[in-house]
């Protein structure tokens, strides 16, 4: 069975693969929980917490890793994308998208006025009914058919830019309001 055969023509996982996906999702939650103390430490400034903002030190993330941070009760995903993931996002015909956005549209400039397309920051909430997508890099079942994120609740597939490509979700994964406050630290909210 090829990787793409693990989804039927509607983008739904096969029964056997759904079990695998559910297991992967559980594992992802576990990994997120493990990362939580680090996340808390990174966002510990009391004044920014009070204002509903968090600071994230991007220098803690390496290529191929994804960080999950809790912000206003929602997960924020920060993925350090590989060049292949960036190239895949740029190669998409934007006019063909349900929620047309270029990859560049999904970033804010850093303090030098440059967009760093390696570091993608998104709210990790599916725009269908609010499940948390999985996106374990290197595992096709956890990244969906387009190499980004997959929502196992009803089978929405997001690409490496977090744009909806298949399934019932109407919109791309949202980009939160954020700014760079130094070369390596962003403030979300
Ligand atoms: S909540 Fe994600 S596909 Fe329905």
If one residue of 169, 170, 174 were mutated to test the ligand 1 pocket, choosing by the most ligand atoms within 8 A of its CB, it would be 169
Active site residues: 154
Is the Cβ–Cβ distance between 144 and 173 less than 8 Å?
no
What's the structural domain count of the chain? 1
Give 5's DSSP letter: G
- Predicted local distance difference test score (pLDDT) of residue 148: 96
Tokens for 54, please give them.
């968090």
Segment (H or E) for 180: strand 178-180
Ligand 1 mean position, distance from CA 109 (Å)? 30
Q: Is the pLDDT of residue 43 over 50?
A: no
Is the Cβ–Cβ distance between 163 and 149 less than 8 Å?
no
Range of the domain at 114: 4-188
Residue identifier of the C-alpha nearest atom 1 of ligand 1: 129
Assign residue 60 the CATH number of its domain. Answer: 2.102.10.10
**How do residues 53-79 score in pLDDT, each as one tens digit?**
999 999 989 999 999 999 999 999 999
If one residue of 124, 128, 132, 158 were mutated to test the ligand 1 pocket, choosing by the most ligand atoms within 8 A of its CB, it would be 128
Tell me the β-bridge partners of 185: 57
């Amino acid at each position: 069975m090829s990787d793409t055969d693990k989804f039927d023509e509607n983008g739904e996982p096969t029964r056997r693969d759904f079990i695998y996906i559910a297991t992967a999702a559980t594992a992802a939650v576990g990994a997120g929980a493990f990362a939580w103390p680090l996340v808390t430490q990174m966002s510990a400034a009391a004044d920014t917490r009070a204002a509903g903002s968090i600071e994230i030190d991007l220098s803690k993330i390496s290529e191929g890793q994804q960080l999950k941070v809790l912000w206003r009760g929602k997960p924020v995903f920060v993925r350090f994308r590989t060049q292949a993931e960036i190239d895949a996002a740029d190669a998409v015909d934007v006019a063909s998208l349900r929620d047309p956005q270029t990859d560049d549209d999904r970033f804010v400039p850093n303090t030098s006025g440059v967009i760093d397309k390696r570091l993608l920051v998104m709210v990790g909430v599916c725009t269908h009914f609010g499940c948390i997508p999985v996106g374990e890099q290197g595992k096709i079942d956890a990244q969906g058919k387009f190499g980004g994120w997959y929502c196992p609740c009803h089978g929405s597939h997001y690409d490496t830019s977090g744009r909806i490509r298949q399934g019932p979700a109407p919109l791309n994964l949202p980009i939160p309001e954020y700014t760079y406050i130094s070369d390596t630290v962003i403030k979300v909210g």
